[in-house]
Amino acid sequence: METVLRTIAVYLILLVLIRLTGRRTLAQFTAFDFLVLLTMDIVFSLLGRDSLLFSKLVNGVPMILVEEGRLLRPRLRKARLTEDQVLAAARRTQGIYRLEDIKYAILEASGEISVIPMRA
């Protein structure tokens, strides 16, 4: 599953880069360019596996957004999220409708929001 997600991520990054630089840039890409891009992805994943610092730089780290029912607004702004998005994740994953019922909401390095209810 991780390979599929990485492939999709690389595709989306390429799509954005192509949109930003124009289609003529894509016409100038060779098979070797794509192979180098793939090789770099493999190198980055190996470096991330072996180096905690490199992994943090490339993949990011989890960030607590809600603690003991309190929304941590500076972290929410830093993550460019809204209270409604946190509550939507809480409803979707735990059936929680109020911030007061959330012990922790954590923005994971993958971009997902994990919610731990107060009762846990």
Residues of the chain with CATH 3.30.240.20: 63-117
The model's pLDDT over 61-98, given as tens digits with 9 standing for 90+, comes to: 899 999 999 999 999 999 999 999 999 999 999 999 99
Say if residue 21's pLDDT is above 80: no
Element (H, E) at 115: strand 113-117
CA–CA gap between residue 93 and residue 112 (Å, rounded) = 11
With left for phi above 0 and alpha for psi between -120 and 50, is residue 70 left, alpha or beta?
beta
What single DSSP character describes residue 119?
Answer: T
Task: Report the pLDDT value the prediction gives residue 120, as an integer from 0 to 100.
Answer: 54
State pTM to two decimals: 0.64
Q: Predicted confidence band at 60 (pLDDT cuts at 50, 70, 90)?
A: confident
Name the 3-class secondary structure at 5.
helix
CA–CA gap between residue 89 and residue 96 (Å, rounded) = 9
Question: How does the average pLDDT of the chain come out, rounded?
Answer: 85
CA–CA gap between residue 106 and residue 38 (Å, rounded) = 31
Task: Report the pLDDT value the prediction gives residue 74, as an integer from 0 to 100.
Answer: 95
CATH of 63-117 given 3.40.50.300, 2.60.40.60, 3.30.240.20, 3.40.50.2300: 3.30.240.20
Task: Identify the top-confidence range among 44-53, 67-76, 107-116.
Answer: 67-76
Task: Report the pLDDT value the prediction gives residue 97, as an integer from 0 to 100.
Answer: 94
